[in-house]
Every structure is written in C-alpha cells, then in structure tokens.
Chain A
Amino acid sequence: MEDLFSLAMLYSTIRLSTPLLLAALGGMFSERSGVINIALEGLMLAGAFTAATVTHFSGSPWIGLLAAIAAGLAVASIHAIATIHFHADHVVTGTAINILFLGVPALLSGAFFDSTGATPQIPQQNLLPLAPVILAFLFVPLAWWILSRSRFGLRLRAVGENPEAADTAGISVRRLRWAGVLISGALAGIAGAYLSLGQSSLFTRNMTAGRGFIALAALIFGKWRPVQTMLACLLFGFAEAVAIQMQGVAPLPVQFIQMIPYVLTIVVLAGFIGLARAPKALGIPYEKEAG
C-alpha cells in the first residue's frame, strides 16, 4: 500500500496525466469559446498516428511532433467548418470525427506499412519521452495567463459566454471560435504524439482507449479552468497508475479501479461536488441577427 505514494508512482502519475492534460487544455480553449469538443479522442488519434508515421519516415521525432500538430490543426478544421459555418450539432460532428479516426489510421497504415493498424516500432533514440511532459505542465500557467490576462483570452471568454455581447462590441465570434478549435487541435495533436512517441514507441489501433473522453471529463471536473483541470488530470492519471500497479496484485478487481474516473465524472456532472458551470453559450450556434 505504501507503494501507492512512492516516487515511482509520482513519475507514473505525471506521465499518465500528460496526454490528458494536453488534450484537456486544448479542449478548454475550444469550449471556453463556445464550441463543444467531443472530438478530442479522434484528434489525439490523428496526432498519434501522424507522429509515429512521420517519425518513422523522417527519423526525427521533432518533425514527427510538428507533423502531429499539423494533423491536429487539419482535423480540427473539419470540426470548425461544420460547427461554425454549417451550424452542425457540435456533438454529432465530434462523434463523426472520432469514428473517422478509428478508421483512417488503420487504412493508411495498411497502405504505408502493410499492417492492420500499427506502425513500425520506433528506435529508442527517436522517442520523445520528456518534452511533451514539460510542455504540458508549462502550458498550464501559460494557459491561465492567456485566458485571464490577454486580449485574446478576454475576447475568447466573452464569445463563449455571450456571443451577442461580443458581437455588439465589434468582436468576430467566428474568428475567435476558429482559434479556440484550432488550439484544441494542436494540443490534442501533441497529446497524441506523446502517446505514440513518449509513452510507447509506436501507434496501435485505437490506442487512446477513451483518453479523449476522460480529458473532457477532467475539463468539466476542473470547471474549465487551467489549474483545476490540471489537478483533475493528475487525479485521473493517478487512478490509471494505481490500476496498472494493481494488476495482478489486486485486493479489488482491476475493473473497478478502471471505473473510477468514469463514475467520478458522472457524480461531478450531477452536481454533487460543487456546481460545474459551463460557458453559457457552449454548444449553441451563433447566428448573426440579420439587420
């Protein structure tokens, strides 16, 4: 039991919460601007696959990382166009993107590597075990600063709370929402890259295993605020670390440990643990009043 609080567990927790944190922070920008981002899962998969593939071909994980960001931006654009310009339902679009990236990596890996979804193993020296972790935790104070102290952040928040007020003040609701969605794409791309280049050394089919949704849950649990979201991600990361630790040694069946983040989320949403107040205009398409 004391193992639970050892240094190894701490490392584990930090490593496991990194992809969650990156994705959640990205999701935060999107949702604070009013666009629900259920597609974090798909975005992460896109990033993970791209990172692994490009690293394999280029030999450099940094190029792979950049490619992952590019992939995240590209996929996020689909979400942005559908929701901001076509006023498609945010959740339905996000779900479509998730399904898309269950399929696309497998198709492409079949073409490139003749495999059923996995990319070839990447040699040790081409991995990125540390950089994304540092990036993630450094981004927390940066995100806080952007949201509360910068002009961009002020306007982004306004757009997510009361787009009409922002519009009246001369702010482009569309542009800011695009920015929010693109940021979420970039960060989720990095999160995915970490999965395939940092936590493991290749891409396997559906390797995110729901992390995109857990990141969303952490975001809600963290009340859409940077520091609290980070704490929530650490909590979920810890739960995962415990689960891994306990496999085989379990007094409690591992499945019940696995369930913890999900049950936690449900409880939070029901309002038992404080009131999770979403950005007011979240999910509501903004149509400019015709003058």
Chain B
Amino acid sequence: MKILRPLAMPLAAIAAAFILGAVVVLMIGDDPIETYALLIGSALSWPDGIGYTLFYATPLIFTGLAVALALHAGLLNIGAEGQLYMGAFAAAWVGITFAGWPGWALIPAAMIASMFAGGLWGAIPGYLKARFGAHEVINTIMLNFIAVALTNYFVQYHYREPGDAIMQTREIGEGAHITRLGEFIPGLPTRIPLSIAFFLALLACAAVWVFLRKTRWGYEIRATGANPAAAEYGGIRTGRQIILAMTLSGALAGMVGIGEVLGYRYRFYDGFSPGYGFTAIAVALLGRRHPVGVLLAALLFGALIRGGLFVDIFTEKVSKDLVLVLQAIIILFVACGSAFRFPFGKRARGKI
C-alpha cells in the first residue's frame, strides 16, 4: 500500500488527461472509445506494437533522465532537444569520419562523442548560470535553436551525400552499426529499429540512480537543489554543482544519438526528433524525478507516440497530435499538484 502513495498523483494526472482527451476527441467528431482502443492496442501488439513502443521509449528514457537529474539540482533543463541534436550529430560525425575503423573501436568512440557533445551543450547554460546568474530556461531554449541551425549547416554544407535532396548526412561506416534486438529475440523482426540502445538506456537508469543515491557527487547535487544555503554551509560549492549537473544532463540527452544514428537511420537526419526533448519534461515530472518513474513514464509516452501514429492513419478525424494534447494536460496537472511546488522561486533567481 505504501507504494501507492507516490503513484497517486501521476496516476491522477494520467487519468485526467485521458478524460479530457476523450472530450476533445468527441468534439472533433470521433469515438473516444474506439480511438483509445486503437491507441493502446496498437502500442501493445506484438511484435510491432511493443517493438516500436520500446524504440520510442529509448530516447525518452535518456532525455527524461537528463531533465530529472537537472531537476534534482534545482534546474529546469529545457535544452534536451538541442543537446540531443548535438549528440546525435557528433555520433554521426565520428561514424562518418572514422568509417574505416572496426566496430569495437568505432562504436564506443561514437558513444563517447555523443555524450561529449551533449555534455558540452549542457555545460554552456550551466556555466552561464553559475557565473552570471543567467537563468537556464531561456539559455537552453536559445541553444536549442542554435543547435538546430548549427547541425543544419553542417549537414547542408559539409556532410550531405552529393545530389541528395534530403537534409541528411552520408551514411556512417558499417562498423558503427549497433545490433538491433530483432537479431536475437525470436519473433521480433529486424526491420523494427529497436536496438541495444534500449539496454543502454536501462543501464543509464541504473547508473543515474546509483549516482544520485550512492555517490558523494549525487548527494552534493541533490543538496544544492534542495537547499543551497544549507549546501553551502555543508561545504558544497553550489556553482560547481550546477555546472556538473547541467553537463551530466546534457550528456544523457546526447546519448539519444546512439539509438537514432547508430541503430536506426545510420546517419544524421535533420529534424529527426519528434520533440523528444520537450516530451522529456513531461516524462521527468510524471516520473517524479526518480529513474524508475522516468522509465515507466518513458514507456507510457513511447506507447503514446506509437499509438498516436496509428490513430493518425486509421481514424477519420483524430491525428497523432492527440498525444501532444495528452502530454500537455499531464504536465499541467502535475505542475498544479500540491506535491510539486518546486522552490524555483525561492532560490536566488537568475534573470529571466
């Protein structure tokens, strides 16, 4: 029974979202029951439903962890979108530039590159906040746009296949391809892009949990987020913790590139993200900043993305945007729920 208490609010938010969503569907002129049946059914079918659900959940786990970790430090990282683009591009760049390398060197190199690029993109707003008090929300949003423009530039002018009309880079080297789960799970076809990146995401969950709960750095980050005055008293350099948290957050977001580039399209495809970085906010909030919660919420939203595509194709009027609406309602409910008054205002605020 004790488990139920922390679940109450997220469940209430989800329920509210579905109810309001049903109203919206009715207004549009479709049958809510039919719509939801399609939504949920298509997400849970085997092999395609579950396969794609897990595939979409993977980047959401990474970005959800990113946002959750930043939240623990009292920071709102809206920049996961930009960070994941930088990370994905870095992975593609390694895969292209060192295409001749063997897999055992190329894959780790690409992974590290994605974490590095994402981490850098997170460190910038972290530093600006620590040093100048500049609020991370605006800075991360700005960096999102800059990341999109920057990667777009590199793709268009330097890394496109000559003659290719699509805004995407060349293919990465064979060695950089990571295994799709279909190769060793019976019944799962390899056309489904679910790869070992999923296991990596699960590992990341565990790693983040260990980091936050069991290491001294995790403790110091959490203390900084909970009460900077007390943290300072406890000898913690809060400025450093902010930079560290944002860097790790960015690195986690950057790891999206692993599944996307090394496991799915094998290249960097401009605009590949259907807003993973923003959905991550809902994921982190719904999951109450806890890695397990993030995992569950990511699975839910992964299912919604998958189901949304189906709803889009197979209903008369409703489109996959219903999922966005559900997401937004969930965030609103969570934000209003009494358990969730973040002390963003009480701490020394940057300028926003």
- Chains A and B in contact, CB within 8 Å: yes
Q: Does A284 contact B (CB under 8 A)?
A: yes
Chain A residues near B76: list those with CB within 8 A.
Answer: 89, 91-92
Number of interface residues of A (CB under 8 A): 52
B328 at the interface (CB under 8 A from A): yes
Q: Could you tell me which residues of chain B, from 15 to 39, have a CB within 8 Å of some CB in chain A? A: 24, 27-29
Could you tell me the distance in whole angstroms from the C-beta of B12 to the nearest C-beta in chain A? Answer: 14
Residues of B within 8 A of A95 (CB): 78, 278, 281, 331
CB atoms of B351 and A107 under 8 A apart: no
Q: Is the CB of A262 within 8 A of B142?
A: yes
Chain A residues whose CB sits within 8 angstroms of the CB of B341 once the complex forms: 87, 89, 285
Q: A265 contacts the other chain (Cβ, under 8 Å)?
A: yes
- Of A125-133, A179-187, A189-197, A253-261, the one touching chain B: A253-261
With CB as the reference atom, state the residue of chain B lying closest to A88: B335
| Interface residue B318 (Cβ < 8 Å from any Cβ of A) | yes
Find out whether the CB atom of A96 lies under 8 angstroms from the CB atom of B332.
yes
Asked if B232 is at the interface (CB within 8 A of a chain A CB), the reply is no
A residues 82-138 near B (Cβ < 8 Å) are: 82, 86-89, 91-93, 95-100, 102-104, 106-108, 110-111, 114, 116-117
Are B345 and A283 in touch, CB under 8 angstroms? Answer: yes
Q: How far is the CA of A285 from the CA of B345 in the complex (A)?
A: 7
CB <8 Å contact, B332 and A102 = no
Q: Which of B53-61, B97-105, B132-140 contacts A (4 or more CB under 8 A)?
A: B132-140
Closest-by-CB residue of B relative to A114 is B317
Q: In the complex, what residues of A have CB within 8 A of residue B143's CB?
A: 262, 266
A238 interfacial contact with B, CB 8 Å: no
Q: A38-B137, A263-B146 are in contact. Are A278 and B324 (CB under 8 A)?
A: no
- How many Å lie between the Cα of A210 and that of B336 in the bound state? 26
A277 at interface by CB-CB < 8 Å = yes
How many angstroms from the CA of A278 to the CA of B352 in the assembled complex? 7
Q: Pick from B128, B150, B152, B334: contact of A266, CB below 8 A.
A: B128
Interface residue? B179 (CB, 8 A): no
Task: Tell yes or no: A141 within 8 A of B by CB.
Answer: no
- A266 and B142 form a contact (CB under 8 A): yes
| CB of B275 within 8 Å of the partner chain | yes
**Given that A93-B332, A102-B321, A103-B324 are known contacts, is A217 also in contact with B142, CB under 8 Å in the complex?**
yes
Contact assessment for B153 and A269 in the assembled complex, using a CB-CB cutoff below 8 Å: no
In angstroms, Cα B76 to Cα A89, docked, is 10
Judge if A216 is at the interface, Cβ distance under 8 Å: yes
- Those of B319-352 within 8 Å (CB) of chain A: 319, 321-325, 327-329, 331-332, 334-336, 340-342, 344-346, 349-352
B141 at interface, CB cutoff 8 A: yes
A82 to B336, CA, bound (A): 6
**B86 shortest CB reach to chain A, Å:** 14
In the complex, the answer to whether B317 meets A110 with C-beta atoms within 8 Å is yes
Is B285 positioned at the interface, with any CB of A under 8 Å from its CB? yes
Interface digits, B90-132 against A, CB 8 Å rule (1 contact, 0 not)? Answer: 0000000000000000000000000000000000000010011
Any chain B CB within 8 A of the CB of A171? no
Counting CB contacts under 8 A, is A244 at the interface? no
Name which of B76, B131, B134 has the most chain A CB atoms within 10 A of its CB: B134
Contact of A270 among B29, B128, B323 (CB under 8 A): B128
Determine whether B157 belongs to the interface, using a CB cutoff of 8 Å to chain A.
yes
Residues of B within 8 A of A108 (CB): 28
| Dominant secondary structure of chain B at its interface with chain A | helix
Query: B335 — nearest CB in chain A belongs to which residue?
Result: A88
Asked if B351 contacts A92 (CB within 8 A), the reply is: no
Instruction: Please tell me which one of the listed residues A93, A103, A216, A271 contacts residue B323 in the complex, with CB atoms under 8 A apart.
Output: A103
Chain B residues with CB below 8 A from A213, complex form: 138, 141-142, 145
Asked if residues B137 and A91 are in contact (CB atoms below 8 Å), the reply is: yes
Do B325 and A100 touch across chains, with their CB atoms under 8 A apart?
Answer: yes
Min CB–CB distance B177 → chain A (angstroms) = 29
CB pair B138–A106 under 8 Å, yes or no, is no
Given the complex of chains A and B, what is the CA–CA distance between A78 and B336 in angstroms?
A: 11
Chain A, 58-100, contact with B by CB distance < 8 Å: what is the 0/1 string? 0000000000000000000010001000111101110111111
From 37 to 61 in chain A, residues with beta carbon under 8 angstroms from any chain B beta carbon are 38
Report A276 CB to chain B, min CB distance, Å: 5
User: A255 CA to B146 CA in the complex, in Å?
Assistant: 9
Residues on B with beta carbons closer than 8 Å to the beta carbon of A107: 24, 28, 318-319, 321-322, 325
Cβ contacts under 8 Å, A114 to chain B: 317
A106–B321 touching, CB < 8 Å: yes
Using A102-B324, A276-B351 as known contacts, say yes or no to A92 and B132 having CB atoms under 8 A apart.
Answer: no
Whether B206 sits at the interface, judged by CB under 8 Å, is: no
Question: What are 11 of the A-B contact pairs (CB < 8 Å)?
Answer: A89-B335, A89-B344, A91-B344, A103-B321, A110-B318, A111-B317, A114-B317, A213-B145, A262-B149, A266-B139, A277-B351
